[in-house]
Structures are given as C-alpha cells and as structure tokens.
Chain A
Amino acid sequence: MSTPIGTFERLEVWRDGHVGWLVFDRPDAGNALDAVMFRELEQAWLALDADPEVRVIVNTGNGPAFQTGLDMVQVAKDKDALRAVSRQTRDFELRFTAWQVGVRKPVIAAVNGICAGGGLHFVADADIVIASSTATFTDPHVSVGQVSAFETIALIRRSPAEPVLRMAFTGRHERMPASRAYQLGICSQVVDLPENLRAEAAALAEKIAKNSPTAMAVTKKALWEALERDLTAACAAGAKDLAIMWGHPDQEEGPAAFADKREPAWTPLDHGLIEAATQAQERNA
C-alpha cells in the first residue's frame, strides 16, 4: 500500500510502510536537474524527513537513467531560470541532496542506470548505494568546459581516490560499470536483473527500518560529522554522540525485545532531541 507524499512535477514521492521513496521523474530528459526539480528536491527531502512514518528513504529514477545532472538544454536556452542555483553553487548553499538539507534518516541510493555529472551528488551524499548491473558512472564536467568539484570532493572521501580522479579527467569519454563501483566499495550491492532493483532496495530498507530510529539518527550524525574532522577530534565528538543515546528508552527496549524474541517497539524519532543535543555540543565547544 503506497501513500503519496506531496504533489510534484519532476518527482514521485511516496511512502510504502516505513520506507519513503524519492524518485526522479523526467525520464525523457535523463532525469536531468532543471530549476523546477532543484526546488522540488528540497521540499521532497524535507517532507520525507519530517514524516514520522518514514524510517528509511530510497532514492532512484524512472526510465533508463538514474540522474544525469544539470539540464544542459536549460543551461543553453534559459540561463535565467537557473540563476538561483548558480548563486547557491557559488556560495555552496545548495539544497537538493539529503546531506545538503540535513536529512537525519538513513538514505539508500538505488542507481538504476547512468549516473552522470551532477547525478554523482546523489551517490556521494547517500549513506548506502546499490546499483543495477546496467548502471554506469561518469563525470562529463570537463568535457563541456565545467569544473568538477562538490560531487568528486565528496566521493574522494568514500572511495579510493584514483578512480575519482580518473573519472574527473576522462570526462564523458569513459564510463565506470556497476561491477567496478562494487569492487571499489562505491556501492555495496549490484542487482543483476535491473527490474529487480526496487524490490532489492525495498528489502534492504525494510531491514534497516527494524533498527532504532533514534540510534540511527545519532549514528548518522556521528559518522557524517567525522568526515569533517581529524581522527582524534572526530572520536572525541563521536563519544559525546554516543552518550546522547544513553538513558533513551530504545536502549531498554532493544535488549528486552531480544530477550522476549519479538520485534522492538522503538520510540519515534524526535528531531528536537538531536537538535538540542547538537546545540548543547556547540555551546560547550
């Protein structure tokens, strides 16, 4: 049973059980990002993060492509429409990925086909990445006279650096297949039959949805903030995150459910608790 969330022109957004879906829906344009999709993405991520029934978010695309980045047709014909995005890019105030808008819930990118250029944002900014065997990864920025920066900067922290640099410099003249992305640990699962990708993503998301939403939100905070810091500083900050959870009811419920051989009844995620803890950490810093 799926329940639609919001009304969008360029996206399909719904919830099925505890799993929220955010699907790029411009299949005739390779799901390229135009001004409308940029705006809608922020709204969609925030709506899914705020929906108390959603515990995990899956991000994928309709049609043969996953995401092909900035809409070059709009760049060529209607630059004015993209003025807001250009300003956000210059100031690094972009608001179209889960990480950029501060989503607290785990995000799975399910790469259903070509992922090009700006499409790599959605891979770099996801927690977990799975791919169809037909998926490919490529970064054509330098082939069209653009600099590759944010996506590859984020990827370089998640993967061996050489393949990212190679992708950045070979541009549109080479594509990395899903099998190589798996070997490198850019994705953790390749789904052989492309038509099974969503079913596999849902199965993975449902496993994750069984875990404590609050413990996952604090874990996500600790791990992503660690990418901002040096090792010792990251561990010291992570230690404070650990303690946020101590005394939370999920810590009684987890072992109790285990002992009773039943599924745990987790407390719903309270964004306020995590915001308050973050603010307290900043005050004490």
Chain B
Amino acid sequence: MSYGSYETLIVEREGHIGWLIFNRPEQLNAMNNAMRDELADAWLELDHDPEVRVIVHTGNGRAFQTGVDVMEIATDGIGFERYRDSMENFDVHFTAWHQHVWKPVICAVNGICAGGAFHWVADSDIVIAASDAQFFDPHVSVGQVVAIEAIGLIRRMPAEAVMRMAFVGKYERMTAQRAYELGMVSQIVDPPENLREEAQKLAELIAKNSPTAMRYTKKALWGALEAGLTDSCKAGAQQLVAMWGHPDQEEGPAAFAEKRDANWAPLTPSE
C-alpha cells in the first residue's frame, strides 16, 4: 500500500511500523494550516493500512514540534479566526486521539517540544525522547491561553509540573531527564541520533503482540480517562469480554508452548 503525497509530513512504513514525521524543519515543524489538514489524513491512512501494527511519530530537524505556525497566523490576515469554529466546537483532527486511531502510537521527541507540541505528547500512548530534548510551554508569554494539551497531560503525570510549565511560560525549560523522572516519557535515548533506531526497536517489540488485544486494551485505557473508577472498570469489562473467543487467545498460549512467535489474526476493520 502506498501512501498519499504530503507537503508537510513524511508518511512511510518499515515492516509493521508506520512512521509519521513532521517535515517543516526550517519552521521548527510548526503546524500551519496545510499540516493541520494533512495530519488528519495521515493518521487515518496509517490506521487503515493492514500492514501497520504500531505507529511512530517524530520530527525532522532540531525540533519535534513548536505548535501552531505563528508566522502564518500573524501574516495571513485570518489569524486565529480560521480556527475559531473548529476549536470552539472542539472539532479538531490533528492527533491520533482526535482521529480515533486504536493502534499503539509512540511519540519520539527528537528535540524542542514547545507549546502546541504537547498535543502529540498528551495524545500518544508511549513517549520516548532524545537526551537533548527540551520541553516548555510559552503560550502565556505571548498572550495565549494553554488548555487542551495541558488538560491531556495533567491526567498522565503529576499536575504540579504541568501547571509550572503553563505559568512559567518561556522563562524555563524542562529537561528530558526531568520528563523521565516525572513519567512524562519512559525512555531517554543517548546519544540523540539513535532515537529513530530505538523507536523502531520498541515498536517492533510491540508489533509482536496481538493487534486485536492491543486495540481493545487501548480502548479500555483511554476510555478510563473519560469516567470515574467504577464506571471505567465496568466499561473495561466490556472490552475484556470483546476479546473472548478470538483466535488470538488460542494462538498466544500455543505459540508460547511451542516456543515460536505467535501468528496473530489481522485486525478486522475498526468498529
């Protein structure tokens, strides 16, 4: 399966691993209007490709992402008004979570991660970072509010650190080491140039697992962020039971007993 052509992204597959790469290195991968539209398509293409089991998401150049393209906002005569309707209705489509991607997504933070970049950190399943990655949120330093990305982060990590980033703005940066300590990322890659190789390795480990079991697991865990504990467990029980009787549940133990890799059933189209 070949992917559509993109102006602001690189979308490709290596084995079972789909790659989505921000590709505006000169603009520190800032999201302009074109990238915003392309992201919506790219996530769906990778999610629909039956060969892709895990998606890795990273950036070209010295930044991972620096959020909305302020230059475009300042010069196109439309500014934020372009985004008002979609934002006020929270009808946005640029992250895997927005697009209901149920395959595991690894975010590999390759450098500066600023402001709107946290959308992709907050909306990934797994986050790893190059040792020289830096995290900060300059919104309030330029007269902007921080909301969605910090709201997502606050449920994944201690809240104080998120609030500190939100209020200190551009006057402080969090290191990859502190992000690791706080559990915002689970792995630091040193030297930084090995990041993609390590991301591919991690993704290949994950790709050995049952795609169907991972889909229901992801639904259960993200669903848990939507509800209180008891309601989440009840909804999670539905996901658990959805897997019962699936051939992967025979194949997994059989492969284990025979000391071979499991031959998983392909994902059925998402419901």
Query: Which residues of A are interface residues toward B (Cβ below 8 A)?
Result: 56, 106, 127-129, 157-160, 183-188, 204, 207-208, 210-212, 214-216, 218-220, 222-223, 226-227, 230-236, 238-246, 248, 250-255, 258, 264, 266
Contact = CB atoms under 8 A, between A and B. Distances in A.
Contacts of B92: 239
Given A219-B146, A223-B151, 6 more contacts: A158-B160, A210-B171, A212-B143, A215-B144, A231-B225, A251-B142
Interface string B190-229: 0000000000000000000000000000000010011100
Interface string B127-153: 000000000000111111111101110
A185 B143 contact: no
B233 interface: no
Contact of A239 (B74, B147, B162, B226): B147
Contacts of A218: 145
A264 B143 contact: yes
Contacts, number: 161
Those 4 A-B pairs whose CB atoms lie nearest each other, nearest first: A185-B158, A238-B147, A250-B143, A254-B143
A254 B158 contact: no
A235 B148 contact: yes
Contacts of A252: 143
17 contacts: A158-B159, A160-B158, A188-B161, A208-B167, A208-B171, A211-B140, A211-B168, A211-B169, A214-B143, A219-B145, A223-B150, A232-B226, A235-B151, A241-B147, A243-B84, A255-B142, A258-B142
A254 B168 contact: no
Contact of B147 (A185, A214, A242, A248): A242
A244 B145 CA distance: 9
Interface of B: 70, 74, 80-81, 84, 87-90, 92, 139-148, 150-152, 154-155, 157-164, 166-169, 171-172, 181-183, 222, 225-227
Contacts of B162: 223
Secondary structure type dominating chain A contacts: helix
B144 A254 contact: yes
B225 A222 contact: no
Given A183-B181, A185-B182, A212-B140, A219 B167 contact: yes
Interface centre among A128, A157, A204 (most CB of B within 10 A): A128
Given A158-B158, A223-B163, A255-B70, A230 B145 contact: no
Given A106-B167, A246-B80, A236 B145 contact: no
B159 A157 contact: yes
A254 B90 contact: no
B226 A242 contact: no
